[in-house]
Amino acid sequence: MSNFSDKVVLITGAASGFGRLLAEKLEAQGAKLALGDLNADGVKAVAGALDVSSIACSCDVRDEQQVAEFVAKTVAEFGRIDIAINNAGIGTPMKSLVDTSEEDMDFNFAVNTKGVFFGMKYQIPVMAEQGGGAILNVASMAGIAGAHKMTPYVAAKHAVVGITKTAALEYARKNVRVNAVCPYFSPTPLVAKGIDRDVQEMVAAGAPMKRLGTPEEMVNAMLHIVDPDNTYMTGQAIAVDGGVSAI
């Protein structure tokens, strides 16, 4: 497996964490990269450090027009999109359900769910027209199970899993594979900033492997899902969780 040479890969949220690491690993395998992020300087810096053909776009996934333009720029530059990874996402401070505000819910849905929806809305027609492609939506273990004090994130990520399965059904005959990955906690900047150290230690202890997964382990699993040889997997929500979902 793992032949991404000359494949055109679009990644949202590519300035940091999983998105950045995906770009670096795909560079090593000769992919052509379209990198988007709300953090325009950050994503330019990531693209600038790559040795492969790449473009960097300022793209807020909450804004349908910006997502449409990012997809259009990718096609204008490379002529196609083989793989799209809808990875941009945010977390909000942990709160019990009764302390959660409507704004917390709206913010999570705007970035984590609608951002993925807008991405697929513009990526799918390109892939259908060219004869196929693979989409990977970065959900979370919070997309397939409850998570203490994370109501808005859990709701938004469950929605990601739902729209992933629906898109997979609608476009299977167009040879567009659509899957979601559901990582357990991993120490990216999102977790370092948003989750207290003692909570990180507690969730690590709760995993059968008794540790968190590294960002590299998460990204390796994501690359397996979108591998061009992995042609019959679609509509799945795949946990990468050190065994947590088997408990």
C-alpha–C-alpha distance, residues 84 and 88, integer Å: 12
Q: Closest CB to ligand NAD among 165 and 174?
A: 165
- Residue 186 interacts with ligand NAD (CB under 6 A)? yes
Interacting residues with ligand NAD between 78 and 137 (CB under 6 A): 87-90, 111, 115
Q: Closest CB to ligand NAD among 78 and 185?
A: 185
Residue 3: both structure tokens together: 């032949």
- Helix (H) / strand (E) element for 32: namely strand 32-37
C-alpha–C-alpha distance, residues 212 and 207, integer Å: 8
Catalytic residue among 122, 153, 171, 184: 153
Q: Closest CB to ligand NAD among 27 and 60?
A: 60
- Residue 183 interacts with ligand NAD (CB under 6 A)? yes
| Residue from 4, 7, 11, 12 in contact with ligand NAD (CB under 6 A) | 12
Residue 189: count of CB within 10 angstroms of its CB: 12
- Helix (H) / strand (E) element for 57: namely strand 54-58
153 is catalytic: yes
Applying CB under 6 A, the span of 34-42, 75-83, 165-173, 226-234 interacting with ligand NAD comes to 34-42
Q: ∠ CA(137), CA(224), CA(158), 5° rounding?
A: 25
Sign of CA dihedral 48, 50, 51, 53: negative
Sign of CA dihedral 147, 149, 153, 155: positive
Binding mask 136-165 for ligand NAD (x = CB under 6 A): --x-x-------------------------
Contacts with ligand NAD by CB under 6 A lie at 12-13, 15-19, 37-39, 59-62, 87-90, 111, 115, 138, 140, 183, 185-186, 188-191
